[in-house]
Amino acid sequence: MRILPTGDRAVLVEVADRDARVALATHLRRDPPPGVLDVVEGAATVLVRTASADHLKRVVDDLRRIDDPRAATRAVTPAALDADAAAEVLLVPTTYDGPDLASLAQHLGESAEGLVARHTSMSWVVDFAGFLPGFGYLRPSDPGQPWPTVPRLATPRKRVPAGSVALAGGWTGIYPSASPGGWRLIGRTDLTTWDQFADVPAQLVPGRRVRFVERA
């Protein structure tokens, strides 16, 4: 675990692997030290943002006592988290008619039907969020399951409609609102994944399980 400086109010913690990251973020969210304003996960990092430089000093002291976040947070092992999250699988009814579906399937050396079948048979989990409010980066929930790395568009589209189901890198995602974007669009859903005025604004929170269901 490495603690990297990030200004006078935050630190970035680099951890060994995804399990350690999830364990550390969950630990900090369930029992936040005084003055912690925000805990944000990246692919291999956890950001801890505090209200003041004094709070930050104390948080860093606490973090330094954690050698292995998994040992420090045995009560919230990723397995336990997965069991929690699995109780609430978000089903996403999807029409697979995206403008990039055919060309992407060809690029991957398979049929469009084959790619759709793989996308719908897979169980996904929100790894972390970012890019836009309510945008979740979904990875296969079984890390052993093969899923291709998909290149982003060389020139991003100026406007991707809300509800677009897309692929990029090793991820899949759902555009929560209309925005410019460079992910490959394979389908669309009517499901609302983001409403800033709702009691629960985001559906795709880290740890949430997701399945895509093909709609004719």
Stretch that binds another protein, among 10-18, 73-81, 106-114, 142-150 (CB under 8 A): 10-18
- Rounded to whole angstroms, the Cα distance separating 199 from 172 reads 25
15, 22, 27, 41: residue in contact with another protein (rule CB under 8 A): 41
Dihedral angle over CA of 184, 90, 178, 197, nearest 10: -160
Stretch that binds another protein, among 65-73, 82-90, 104-112, 193-201 (CB under 8 A): 193-201
Per CB under 8 A, 196 contacts another protein: yes
Residue 68, number of CB atoms within 10 A of its CB: 13
Among 164, 206, 209, 210, the residue binding another protein under the rule CB under 8 A is 206
| Interacting residue with another protein among 69, 78, 98, 134 (CB under 8 A) | 134
Nearer to another protein, 114 or 130 (CB): 130
> What is the gyration radius of the CA atoms in the chain, in angstroms?
19
Residue 191 in contact with another protein, rule: CB under 8 A: no
Q: Is the Cβ of residue 52 or residue 111 nearer to another protein in the bound state?
A: 52
Question: Which of 49/184 has CB closer to another protein?
Answer: 49
SS3 131: coil
Q: Got the DSSP string for 76-111?
A: G-HHHHHHHHHTSEEEEEEB---TTHHHHHHHTTS-
Task: Report the distance separating Cα 198 and Cα 196, nearest Å.
Answer: 6
- The mark string for 77-116 relative to another protein (x by CB under 8 A, - otherwise) is ----------------------------------------
Instruction: Give the distance from CA 25 to its chain's centroid.
Output: 13
CB 206: neighbour CB atoms within 10 A?
A: 22
The residues of the shown chain that bind another protein, judged by CB under 8 A, are 4-12, 25, 29, 37-47, 49, 53-54, 56-57, 60-61, 128-135, 137, 177, 196-197, 201-202, 204-206
